[in-house]
Amino acid sequence: MTITSSSSWQTLQDHAQQMQHSHLKELLLDESRFKTLSFAHGPLLIDFSKQRIDQHTLKHLVELAKTADLPGWITRLFNGDPINTSEARPALHTALREQAQTSLEVGGHNIIQDVQTNLSRMEKIVERIHSGQWRGYAGEPIDTIVNIGVGGSDLGPYMACSALRGARVNAGRHLKVHFVSSMDGSELADILGSLNPATTLFIVSSKSFTTIDTLSNAHTARKWLRDASGVNDTIINRCHFIGISANPAKMSSWGIADDNQLEFWDWIGGRYSMWSAIGLPIALRIGMDGFREMLQGAHSMDQHFLSAPLNENLPVLLGLIGVWNVNFLDIHAHAILPYDGRLIHLPAYLEQLEMESNGKSVNRVGESLDYRTCPVLWGEVGPNAQHAFYQLLHQGTESVMCDFIVSARRYEKTDNESLRSQHTLTLANCLAQSRILAIGSAVQQNDQPVPGHKQYHGNQPSTTLLLDELTPFSFGSLIALYEHKVFVQSVIWDINPFDQWGVELGKTMATSLLKPLQHQASDSEFDPSTHGLMRHIHQQQER
Ligand code: F6P
C-alpha cells in the first residue's frame, strides 16, 4: 500500500479542499494563532502561524506521520540500522555529535569511540596550526588555509565559517581561510596570485577522494607549490597538505602523509559531514571549543527530535508542513531567506541537503512514485532578495513557500548605535515581508479600487525561524533541524534520502566526452546538439 492510498492521506486531501478557500488574512484574524502555532526548543522559536494550516491540519499531518511509521524510522536512524538501503549503510551523522561517554555499536564496534578519537586528532592539528608550530617548507608558521572540496566537502564548512566568523572561542592565531570548489579552477586561479606558498596549507576534503573536481584543484595547488618552492614533493606533502576522507588508501596514493590524514566513515553522507573532520576549517576559523559548541547545539536538536511528541517536535512539524504545501496545496517552490548576511551560504547548503536527499522519483525499493516529492529550493540573503526576486513572490503567478531566518539579538554587546539600528531595520523588513506575503494588500483604498499592478494577493505561506542569537550552539541546532526535516519528509515520501545516484551518469558521460574534446575529434555517436557544440568549440580553439 502506498501512502497516497492511506486514510490519513485521504483525510488530508479532503481537509485541503476546505483550506484552499481560507486566505491567510482571514486565518490571521485569530488572536491565539501565534500562541498555538509557534513552537520553541533551546535558542530557536519557529512560527508556523503564517502557514496555511489550522489545528486540524497539524492533527491530520501527525496521523500521516504515524501511518508512515515516522517514530519507527527515527529509532532506526539513531540506532544505526542500514537505512541507506541502496548502499547498505546506516546514516549516522547524529553519532558525530553524540556525547563522549555513550556507546553505539555498528558491526560489533563502538563507533562513538572512533568519533572521539578523531575529534582528538583534529584538535591536535588545530592546536599545532593555531600555536604556529605547523610550519611550511621554509620554516614559517602557516597563516592561510585553503579548503579544496566540493558539494558536501565544501558547502557545510564554507557556510559555517561565514556564519560563525564573529564567534571565535579560544581560537588562537587568526587564520585566513579560503574555499575552492569549482572544477574549472577559476577560484584557485583568482587566489593563488595573492597567496604566500611558504605559509599556505591546503586541506583536500573528499569523502571518496576520487572526485575529479577536487583532485584537479589539488593537483594545480601542488604544482603551484612545487614551482614556487623548488622543494620536493615529500616536503610539500608533509608541510602543505592535509587530507580528509573516508578512503585512506586513496589519500595515501595521492601523497597525503599518514600523520596528515583525518578520516571519517562511509556511514556519514557527504552532505551530512560537516560535523566530522570535514569541519576542520570551521575549527580552524572559530576554535575547537566553538566547534564543540556547534556539535552540542546539533546534539540538543537530536535529543529533541528523538524524544519530543510528534505534535511539538520542531523537525517533524517543519517536515510535515512542507509535505502539506507540496502534496496538498500544490506548492513546488521553496525560498530560503536569511535576514543575516552571515548566513549568505545557507541557501546553497540547503539546496544540496534537500534536493540531493529528496530529489527522487522512486521509492526505497525502486518503484516509481505517483506523487510529488522535493520542491525546487533557492534563496538569497532576504534584504538583498527584496531588491531582486521578491517581485515574483508578491505578484507573480507561482505559489512559493518561504523560510525567513533571523536572530533577535545581534549587536547588543557592542556600543555601535549605528549597527544596532541596522539590525532593527533588518528585523522590521523581515517581519514586514512575511506579513505582506501572508495578508497581501487592500483591493480598495479611500473607496477607490487599487489598480491591479499595485495589488498584492498575499496568501503565500511562510515559516519564521527566530534564533535568540547566532552562536555556534544555535547554528548547530538550526542545521540539525533542517537535516531532520529532510529525513521526516523522506519517510512520508518513502524515499531513501541518503544516496544520490542521479549524479553518477553525468560523471561517466563527461569522461566519455573528454577524449573527443582533447583530441579535437568530433564523434558522431553523440546527439546532434553535443556533436555540433563540440565542432564549434574545436573551430574556436583552432583560431
Ligand atoms: O557528486 C555528488 C557528490 O557525491 C556529493 O554527494 C558529494 O557531497 C560531492 O559529490 C563530493 O564528493 P566527495 O566528498 O567524495 O569528493
Cβ 355 vs Cβ 374: under 8 Å: yes
Residue 519 reports pLDDT greater than 90: no
Taking CA atoms only, the protein residue closest to ligand 1 atom 1 is 503
What pLDDT does 522 receive? 66
DSSP single-letter state for residue 325: I
How many CB atoms are closer than 10 A to CB 76? 16
Helix (H/G/I), strand (E/B), else coil: 395: helix
Q: How far is CA 168 from the centre of its chain?
A: 22
What are the CA-CA distances from residue 540 to residues 519, 523, 529, 533, 535 (Å)? 14, 17, 17, 11, 9
Taking CA atoms only, the protein residue closest to ligand 1 atom 8 is 152
Cβ 154 vs Cβ 272: under 8 Å: no
Taking the centre of ligand 1 as the mean of its atom positions, its distance from the CA of residue 363, in whole angstroms, is 22
Task: Work out which ligand 1 atom sits closest to the CA atom of 213.
Answer: 16
Tally of helices (H runs) and strands (E runs) in the chain: 22, 15
Taking the centre of ligand 1 as the mean of its atom positions, its distance from the CA of residue 152, in whole angstroms, is 6
Q: Is 311 exposed, middle or buried (0-12, 13-18, 19+ CB in 10 A)?
A: middle
In DSSP terms, 261 is beta-bridged to 243
- Give the model confidence (pLDDT) of 327-377 as tens digits: 999 999 999 999 999 999 999 999 999 999 999 999 999 999 999 999 999
What pLDDT does 173 receive? 79
Taking the centre of ligand 1 as the mean of its atom positions, its distance from the CA of residue 225, in whole angstroms, is 26
Measured from CB, residues less than 6 Å from any atom of ligand 1 are: 150-153, 206-208, 211, 214, 270-271, 356, 500, 503
- Give the model confidence (pLDDT) of 155-176 as tens digits: 999 999 999 998 877 777 789 9
Taking the centre of ligand 1 as the mean of its atom positions, its distance from the CA of residue 270, in whole angstroms, is 6
Taking CA atoms only, the protein residue closest to ligand 1 atom 9 is 151
Nearest 5°: the CA angle 31, 35, 37 is: 105
Residue whose C-alpha cell reads 518513502 in the numeric block:
494
Residue 107 confidence class, pLDDT cut points 50, 70, 90: confident
Task: Work out which ligand 1 atom sits closest to the CA atom of 278.
Answer: 14
Percent of residues, the chain, with pLDDT higher than 90: 93
What are the CA-CA distances from residue 465 to residues 50, 124, 336, 388, 460 (Å)? 12, 36, 11, 22, 16
- Give the model confidence (pLDDT) of 43-90 as tens digits: 999 999 999 999 999 999 999 999 999 999 999 999 999 999 999 999
Q: How far is CA 420 from the centre of its chain?
A: 29
Cα–Cα distance, 215 to 281 (Å, whole number): 18
Cα–Cα distance, 140 to 68 (Å, whole number): 58
Active site residues: 356, 387, 507
Cβ 463 vs Cβ 318: under 8 Å: yes
Residue type, 495: I
Helix (H/G/I), strand (E/B), else coil: 195: coil
To test the ligand 1 pocket, which listed residue (207, 244, 254) has its Cβ within 8 A of the most ligand atoms? Answer: 207
Q: How far is CA 48 from the centre of its chain?
A: 21
- Give the model confidence (pLDDT) of 467-498 as tens digits: 999 999 999 999 999 999 999 999 999 999 99
In DSSP terms, 177 is beta-bridged to 145
Helix (H/G/I), strand (E/B), else coil: 109: strand
Cα–Cα distance, 127 to 288 (Å, whole number): 9
On average, the pLDDT of the chain sits at 96
